[in-house]
C-alpha cells in the first residue's frame, strides 16, 4: 500500500515538473513571437495584435473570443476580427486602463468607449502599447 502511494506521488511530481517546463517554454515562445511582431511593426508596417476580446454589455456580452485587433481601412479607428465572424469596428476616442492579467505575460486593456460600451482586450505584454495605439488612446507621455 505504501509503495503504491509513493509511486503515485513520484508520478504526480514528474507530471508537475513536465507541465511546468512546457508552460515555461510556451511563455518564452509567445514572448519571442510578440517581440518579433513589435519589431516588424516598428518599421512602419501595420501588424495586427492577436488578443482575446470580451464585451461587457450588448449583444456580444457573452462572447469572449480570440481574434486580432487591427487598424481599420482609413486608419482612424480599430477593428476586431475574429475567425468565422463579421469584423467589428470599435468606437474611437475612449479611455483604457491597462492592468495585469491573471495569466503570466499578459495584460488586460479595459476599454471604455465614448458611447458607454466596455470591452476588455487581453493582449501579450510586449503588444499592449501597440494595441492601445490602435484604439487611439492618448499616451500619458504626450501630456507631460
Residue 11 within a domain: no
Element containing residue 21 per DSSP (H, E): helix 2-42
Residue 40 within a domain: no
Number of separate domains in the chain: 1
pTM: predicted TM-score of the whole model, two decimal places: 0.65
55-113 pLDDT tens trace: 876 655 566 678 888 877 776 778 888 888 888 888 777 787 888 888 877 888 888 88
Residue 51 within a domain: yes
Q: Residue 132 sits in which domain range?
A: 47-143
Residues 6+ apart with CB under 8 A from 120: 53, 54, 56, 108, 109, 110, 111
CATH number at residue 99: 2.30.29.30
Element containing residue 23 per DSSP (H, E): helix 2-42
Task: Determine the distance from the C-alpha atom of residue 125 to the mean position of all C-alpha atoms in its chain, rounded to a whole number.
Answer: 8
C-alpha cell, 10: 513520484
Residue 86 within a domain: yes
Residue 31 within a domain: no
pLDDT (0 to 100) of residue 59: 58
Task: Determine the distance from the C-alpha atom of residue 26 to the mean position of all C-alpha atoms in its chain, rounded to a whole number.
Answer: 15
Residue 29 within a domain: no
Amino acid at each position: 500500500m505504501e509503495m503504491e502511494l509513493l509511486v503515485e506521488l513520484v508520478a504526480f511530481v514528474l507530471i508537475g515538473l513536465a507541465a511546468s517546463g512546457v508552460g515555461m517554454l510556451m511563455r518564452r515562445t509567445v514572448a519571442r513571437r510578440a517581440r518579433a511582431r513589435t519589431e516588424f511593426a516598428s518599421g512602419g508596417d501595420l501588424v495586427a495584435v492577436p488578443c482575446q476580446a470580451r464585451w461587457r454589455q450588448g449583444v456580444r456580452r457573452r462572447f469572449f473570443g480570440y481574434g486580432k485587433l487591427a487598424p481599420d481601412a482609413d486608419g482612424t479607428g480599430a477593428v476586431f476580427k475574429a475567425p468565422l465572424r463579421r469584423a467589428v469596428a470599435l468606437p474611437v476616442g475612449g479611455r483604457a486602463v491597462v492592468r495585469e492579467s491573471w495569466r503570466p505575460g499578459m495584460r488586460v486593456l479595459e476599454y471604455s468607449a465614448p458611447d458607454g460600451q466596455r470591452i476588455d482586450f487581453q493582449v501579450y505584454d510586449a503588444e499592449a502599447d501597440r494595441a492601445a495605439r490602435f484604439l487611439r488612446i492618448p499616451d500619458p507621455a504626450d501630456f507631460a
